[in-house]
Amino acid sequence: MFTKILVANRGEIAVRIIRACREMGIKTVAVYSEADRDSLHTLLADEAICIGPAPSDKSYLNMERIISATVAMKAEAIHPGFGFLSENARFAELCEKCSITFIGPPAGLINKMGNKSEARKTMIEAGVPVVPGSREPVYKAEEAKAMAEEIGYPVMIKASSGGGGKGMRISYGPDDFETNFLNAQMESVKGFSDDTMYLERYIEKPRHIEFQIMADKQGHVVHLGERDCSIQRRHQKVLEESPSIAISQELRKKMGETAVRAARAVGYENAGTIEFLLDKDKNFYFMEMNTRIQVEHPVTEMVTGMDLIKEQIRIAAGEPLSVTQDEVRIQGHAIECRINAENPAKHFMPCPGLITNVHTPGGNGIRVDSHIYCDYRVPPNYDSMLLKLIVYGKDRESAIAKMRSALGELVIEGIETNLDFQYEILNHEAFVKGDIDTHFIPTYFPQYGK
Amino acid sequence: MLKDMFKKTYTLIDTKYKGQTREPNVPEGLWRKCRKCGQPVYRDDVMDSLYTCPKCKAYFRVHAFRRIEITADKGSFEEWDSAMEFGNPLDFPGYEDKVREAREKTRLNEAIVTGKCLINGEKTALGVCDSRFLMSSMGHVVGEKITRMVERATEQRLPVIIFACSGGARMQEGCVSLMQMAKTSGALKRHHEAGLFFISVLTDPTTGGVTASFAMLGDVILAEPGALIGFAGPRVIQQTIGQKLPEGFQRSEFLLDHGFVDKIVPREEMRDTLGKLLHMHQVSGARRLDGVCGEKSGIEADMAAGNGETQKADGGKTAVKNEAAGNGSEQKAENEFASGKTAWEHVQLSRRTDRPTALDYIEELFDDFIELHGDRYYGDDGAVVGGIAMFHGQAVTVIGQQKGKTTKENISRNFGMPSPEGYRKALRLMKQAELFGRPVICFVDTPGAFCGIEAEERGQGEAIARNLFELSDLKVPVLSIVIGEGGSGGALAMAVANEVWMMENAIYSVLSPEGFASILWKDSKRAKEAAEVMKITAGDLLKLRVIDKVIPEREPACGDNLKEIAWYMEEKICGFLEEYGNLESEDLQKQRYERFCGI
């Protein structure tokens, strides 16, 4: 096992990693920017080293500084957390060259999965379903129509240069295809002087379902069930839960096995997440693979009883997985709410500043992952996430009740947060019923969807 | 407040860690240090970003063979004169040792590598200086290698590209080094006289005798951003004049502003830019436009409908046309063009700020436009734009007077009023077109030549006169299109052409109506009246045979109908090039001369 790990991140996840190391008896080195001198990760780690000024590109993204700090502090491994350098193949490669263990998959894998078209190709080869679509550009309505037949309706018609909904149409059948295609193309020609179009199966009201994967250096791969992350605002996850109400035991097995197959196909190592779109008929399609620990990993920890960060560290140190697939038991229900320093009334504008008072809920089945404390000043330079509130109940109903109670008890004063917005979601009828998809926020909270 | 309050929990694990056998360390050479920002940067990142700093984007100097690798098509480089003998002409003490050391360090035989290669499939001779070798100073070996390369290129009819980078003459070789300047320049002159193309690429640093010889002689001179380029070094200048030098002095951007560099090309675009330029010089002169047009038919009738424009049925006997002008019924019909607007309305339309500018038409009509800057004497005039572009597979030189659409743009474009350096830039590009056999297409749109002290100091009158003089017998076809205001001599300096066309709502005049009224009637407010009597509209000038064709505007030209108008114009230009492209240069010169003699 490692004796010292450098945590190349900040905020809540850095604290989370440091805590795991503390429990494992491993020494920790925090890196911090000049804006993070008083941040909890800096204070909690055994050692801390400043790596530059506040802007991320000069500190938390500065590979050379972080590597030099690791060598200087004699840490054997780097945990990159999420964001920043966590999915930077170059950084993983640098670690390797400097005899530092990168706690995550090898550089080649990060690269492979980071390239969308290559990842798609790999998945098709491994027999993992992907969203059917044209990989070749199409220009003529007639050709496109034949292609649409092959892909299957409804079809999304997308302009290559399109954006913001422009040059985008959905066709529900052969009757409305031509009109929609020509309209979308016309829009693109007018707006972007480009008539290059692509087609893709349109997935109606999809859920965002992702599977947690763990793989060790010995070639064992397990999945730890799914997370339902359909509650999103502009592709940013807001609330996640596990398990998903839409997934039967049978489907879980099928999707889980597919995810494991995908991970095996690329020879995956360490923690990873395979994201799927699940349509209303329970067809699922591969979207992408994240080659790092996820923000929402605690919900999986709650329902499996595992510590994913510790597992990551053990795998990186060469130890085999602590469980086999048969030993993975998914019990109860967990929900996570992300509490951010942002103002929903002002288009979720980030609201950094001084936190004058904090009270966090506690008690049975309640977990708070955060780096904030009373009199902590949230710097304006980074992500606005302040706290993750996670609850665990025996079923979804009791988890929702617990989350409502916990949100009601959480107090953060001094800056604006999205706490009330989360509370509204928890009380929304459709959410309570489990009738959710990725359009949940734009549908039910149009004022916040913008 | 939480500082030093947490208990430490680590237990020194008795480690039997197997995964790792070595201590973490940074291997030698993994980092490079950026000279500009001082940051350590990862070697592979530097290589992948074409030897630039991934942090501050500063340029690293590139070794000769690396440069060839990132410029030439893979495996296409064939080196010439790789083993030229070295001598010590002055018996300068220690010089041999210095050269030997440099050879060992760089594994190069001298400070330049020459040879031939392909760039995007185009053949060229290529010379690349290497600053690691005695600051790439020019001694007799460097001079000889360049001369031989240029001579060989002349023999094989190849273009030449030289990536210059040098501290100047090689001091250890005294006057022998100085003579290399004359030798290389002489070889390039012969290459030039043979009608061959030379691109000089200036990289950091290009100074002294190299700047004062081959580096500044390119038909096209490109520079990398931020490169130090100058004759005397900045330190020497500062010591001599005892003044602090301004920020950015002698950098590429400074030279661009002062008219000595055609274009600053970022490293990642260099290969493509060179490839395009080579291609354009392959096809120009070599290929005439044959039957590429004529696909667009409906549009013409469509455009002409309702505005009285009559098509010329001229089959190509242009030389005869001027003599016969005014006699045949064909010509008579052409003389009748009425737009139904008053002259003053035309004046106002021609001045509208939403009217498409020269660059708008260039963008619509041509492909791969490469703008070239500078008059090579004093500056680069924003009121004149010019460069090389492709038109239906043929290279053409395009020049336009450019107005701005906003106040800010207009300040940099000087409201479309060219200065002497603008006319000199235009002339330089026209002469280049002549050398390489490219037709010239001009877009005229100016209220008049710039009227100011500086313009007079630098010879506004001389610059205009020179253009009329040189244009009158240019050996290639010249077409001028008045797209907005054709203001006086300032317009004519770019309109001594084989044919002059006007947009329906353009004007072309000896003076602005305001100026006319103020001179003749001492009252500039009578401009409206002046406009009517001056005969400045397309219809009037067609009758006077000052122009040859009217480009109809069904609606006044603006961004919305630009495509439509350009489409029509494109077809007409095709016709022009088909007609004039096949004429001998004597016929072109004669036709142009007689065109003006006939007015």
Q: Any residues with CB less than 8 A from the CB of A191 and at least 6 apart, and which? A: A161, A162, A166, A167
On whether both A417 and A300 belong to a single domain, the answer is: yes
A68 contacts B26? CB cut-off 8 A: yes
Count up the domains in chain A and report the number. 3
Taking CA A240 as the corner, what is the angle to CA A235 and CA A246, rounded to the nearest 5 degrees?
Answer: 100
Q: For B342-597, CATH number?
A: 3.90.226.10
Length of chain B: 599
| CA–CA dist A31, B497 (Å, integer) | 70
* Among A103, A127, A150, residue at a domain's last position: A103
Asked, for residue A153, whether it belongs to a domain, the answer is: yes
> B235 exposed, middle or buried (CB, 10 Å; 0-12, 13-18, 19+)?
exposed
* Among A201, A223, A248, residue at a domain's last position: A201
Query: What is the per-residue pLDDT across A63-101, written as a single tens digit (0 to 9) for each?
Result: 999 999 999 999 999 999 999 999 999 999 999 999 999
On the question of a cis peptide bond just before residue A154, with omega within 30 degrees of 0, the verdict is yes
A43 contacts B24? CB cut-off 8 A: no
Chain-centroid distance of CA A208 in Å reads: 11
pLDDT tens track, chain B, 599 positions: 788 888 887 765 555 544 455 688 888 889 988 988 888 899 988 998 899 998 888 999 999 999 999 999 999 999 999 988 889 999 999 999 999 999 999 999 999 999 999 999 999 999 999 999 999 999 999 999 999 999 999 999 999 999 999 999 999 999 999 999 999 999 999 999 999 999 999 999 999 999 999 999 999 999 999 999 999 989 899 999 999 999 999 999 999 999 999 999 999 999 999 999 999 998 765 434 444 444 444 444 445 444 444 444 344 433 434 444 444 444 444 556 766 788 899 998 999 988 999 999 999 999 999 999 999 999 999 999 999 999 999 999 999 999 998 999 999 999 999 999 999 999 999 999 999 999 999 999 999 999 999 999 999 999 999 999 999 999 999 999 999 999 899 999 999 999 999 999 999 999 889 989 999 999 888 999 999 899 999 989 999 999 999 999 888 888 888 988 999 999 999 999 999 998 999 999 999 999 998 88
Choose the closest CB to B1 out of A26, A90, A375.
A375
Asked, for residue A413, whether it belongs to a domain, the answer is: yes
Please report, for the domain that includes residue A430, its CATH number.
Answer: 3.30.470.20
> What residue numbers bound the domain in which A155 lies?
141-201
pLDDT at B213: 96
CATH 3.90.226.10 assigned to B62-283: yes
Closest-CA residue of A relative to B48 is A90
Assigned token pair, B289? 């436009």
CB B26 within 8 A of CB A65: no
How close B31 gets to chain A, by Cα (Å)? 8
Asked, for residue A70, whether it belongs to a domain, the answer is: yes
Closest-CA residue of B relative to A315 is B19
Report chain B residues whose CB lies below 8 A from the CB of A3: 12-13, 15, 17
Interface A–B counts its CB contacts (< 8 A) at: 80
| CA–CA dist B297, A405 (Å, integer) | 75
- Within an 8 Å CB–CB cutoff, is residue A310 touching chain B? no
Residue A234 bears catalytic tag: no
On whether both A312 and A406 belong to a single domain, the answer is: yes
Choose the closest CB to A3 out of B9, B15, B39.
B15
Tell which A residues from 20 to 79 touch B, by Cβ distance under 8 Å: 21-23, 25-28, 38, 40, 43-44, 46, 57, 63-64, 67-68, 70-71, 74-76
- Within an 8 Å CB–CB cutoff, is residue A6 touching chain B? no
- Tell me which of A28, A97, A216, A218 to substitute to probe the interface with B (most B C-beta atoms closer than 10 Å): A97
Report chain A residues whose CB lies below 8 A from the CB of B32: none
Asked, for residue A134, whether it belongs to a domain, the answer is: no
Asked whether this chain's domains B62-283 and B342-597 adopt the same fold, the reply is yes
DSSP string, A51-120: -S-SSGGGTTT-HHHHHHHHHHTT-SEEE--SSTTTT-HHHHHHHHHTT-EESSS-HHHHHHHHSHHHHH
Asked, for residue A125, whether it belongs to a domain, the answer is: no
Which of A292, A314, A338, A396 does the annotation list as catalytic?
Answer: A292
How close B28 gets to chain A, by Cα (Å)? 10
pLDDT tens track, chain A, 450 positions: 899 999 999 999 999 999 999 999 999 999 999 999 999 999 999 999 999 999 999 999 999 999 999 999 999 999 999 999 999 999 999 999 999 999 999 999 999 998 888 888 899 999 999 998 877 788 999 999 999 998 889 999 988 877 666 788 999 999 999 999 999 998 888 777 788 888 989 998 899 999 999 999 999 999 999 999 999 998 899 999 999 999 999 999 999 999 999 999 999 999 999 999 999 999 999 999 999 999 999 999 999 999 999 999 999 999 999 999 999 999 999 999 999 999 998 989 999 999 999 999 999 999 999 999 999 999 999 999 999 999 999 999 999 999 999 999 999 999 999 999 999 999 999 999 999 999 999 999 998 865
Choose the closest CB to A46 out of B2, B10, B23.
B10
Report chain B residues whose CB lies below 8 A from the CB of A68: 26, 40
Closest-CA residue of B relative to A67 is B26
Please report, for the domain that includes residue A17, its CATH number.
Answer: 3.40.50.20
Nearest to B108 by CA among B98, B100, B119: B100
CB A223 within 8 A of CB A431: no
Choose the closest CB to A22 out of B2, B9, B27.
B9
B13 contacts A3? CB cut-off 8 A: yes
| CA–CA dist B76, B158 (Å, integer) | 15
Choose the closest CB to A99 out of B5, B18, B22.
B22
A76 contacts B24? CB cut-off 8 A: yes
On whether both A233 and A262 belong to a single domain, the answer is: yes
On whether both A64 and A153 belong to a single domain, the answer is: no
On whether both A266 and A357 belong to a single domain, the answer is: yes
What torsion do the CA atoms of B176, B181, B182, B183 make, to the nearest 10 degrees?
A: 80
Choose the closest CB to B25 out of A21, A44, A98.
A98
- Please give the mean pLDDT across all residues of chain B: 88
How close B45 gets to chain A, by Cα (Å)? 8
| CA–CA dist A238, A389 (Å, integer) | 11
Q: Any residues with CB less than 8 A from the CB of B502 and at least 6 apart, and which? A: B481, B482, B486, B508, B538, B541, B542, B547, B549, B550, B551
On whether both A264 and A389 belong to a single domain, the answer is: yes
On whether both A373 and A431 belong to a single domain, the answer is: yes
Assigned token pair, B27? 């291997």
Q: Are strands A47-50 and A27-32 parallel, antiparallel or unpaired?
A: parallel
* Among A154, A174, A201, residue at a domain's last position: A201
Q: Which amino acid is at A340?
A: N
Report chain A residues whose CB lies below 8 A from the CB of B1: 373, 375
Closest-CA residue of A relative to B6 is A44
Report chain B residues whose CB lies below 8 A from the CB of A57: 55
Closest-CA residue of A relative to B560 is A190
On whether both A221 and A353 belong to a single domain, the answer is: yes
| CA–CA dist B516, B344 (Å, integer) | 13
How close B555 gets to chain A, by Cα (Å)? 19
Assigned token pair, B194? 């043979």
Asked, for residue A132, whether it belongs to a domain, the answer is: no
A435 φ/ψ angles, rounded to the nearest 5 degrees? -90, 75
A97 contacts B27? CB cut-off 8 A: yes
On whether both A170 and A305 belong to a single domain, the answer is: no
B17 contacts A317? CB cut-off 8 A: yes
On whether both A196 and A332 belong to a single domain, the answer is: no
Tell which A residues from 87 to 146 touch B, by Cβ distance under 8 Å: 90, 93-94, 97-101
A98 contacts B24? CB cut-off 8 A: yes
A23 contacts B40? CB cut-off 8 A: no
Choose the closest CB to B42 out of A22, A46, A63.
A63
B2 contacts A2? CB cut-off 8 A: no
Assigned token pair, A79? 């945990």
Please report, for the domain that includes residue A152, its CATH number.
Answer: 3.30.1490.20
Element (H or E) spanning A161, and its range?
strand A155-163
How close A91 gets to chain B, by Cα (Å)? 10
